[in-house]
Amino acid sequence: MNQYLENSKGAWLAGLLFAAATPVAYAQSSVTIYGVMDVFAEHRSNMVANGDGRWLLNSGGMNTSRLGFRGAEDLGGGLKAVFQLESEVNMDSGQAAGGGAFWGRQANVGLESSSLGRLVAGRSYSTTYDFVLPFDPMGYAPNYSWGTSAGAAGGGATGGARKDGMVTGVSNLLKYRVAFGPVSLGATFGAGEGTGNKVYAAAGAYSGGSLGFVLAWDQVEALPVAAGKDKTRSVHLGASYGVTETVKLFAAIRDYDKSYAVAGAGGSHDKSRTWWVGASFVAIPALTLTAAYYKQDIRSGKTLGGINDPSLLALRAKYALSKRTDLYTAVGYGKADTGPVSVSRDDAAFGTKQTGITAGIQHRF
Residues 114-158 have pLDDT tens digits of 999 999 999 999 999 999 999 999 999 999 999 999 876 643 333
Provide the 3-class DSSP secondary structure of residue 259: strand
| Pairwise CA distance, residues 162 & 165, whole Å | 8
pLDDT of residue 3: 45
pLDDT of residue 17: 33
Residues 85 and 226 in one domain: no
pLDDT over threshold 90, residue 110: yes
| Pairwise CA distance, residues 29 & 51, whole Å | 56
Residues 290 and 362 in one domain: yes
Q: What is the mean pLDDT of residues 269-277?
A: 90
Nearest to 60 by CA among 328, 278, 350: 328
pLDDT digits (tens, 9 = 90+) for 39-74: 999 999 988 777 788 899 999 999 999 999 999 999
Nearest to 151 by CA among 358, 357, 339: 339
Nearest to 39 by CA among 12, 63, 14, 21: 63
236 in a domain, yes or no? yes
Nearest to 348 by CA among 166, 140, 155, 147: 155
pLDDT of residue 159: 37
Residues 145 and 253 in one domain: yes
pLDDT digits (tens, 9 = 90+) for 65-80: 999 999 999 999 999 9
Residue 235 belongs to what domain range? 126-365
Residues 300 and 160 in one domain: yes
pLDDT of residue 259: 87
How large is the greatest C-alpha to C-alpha distance in the chain, in angstroms? 105
Residues 106 and 177 in one domain: no
Q: What mean pLDDT is reported for the chain? A: 86
| Pairwise CA distance, residues 7 & 286, whole Å | 72
pLDDT over threshold 80, residue 215: yes
Which residues have CB under 8 Å from 5's CB, separation 6+? none
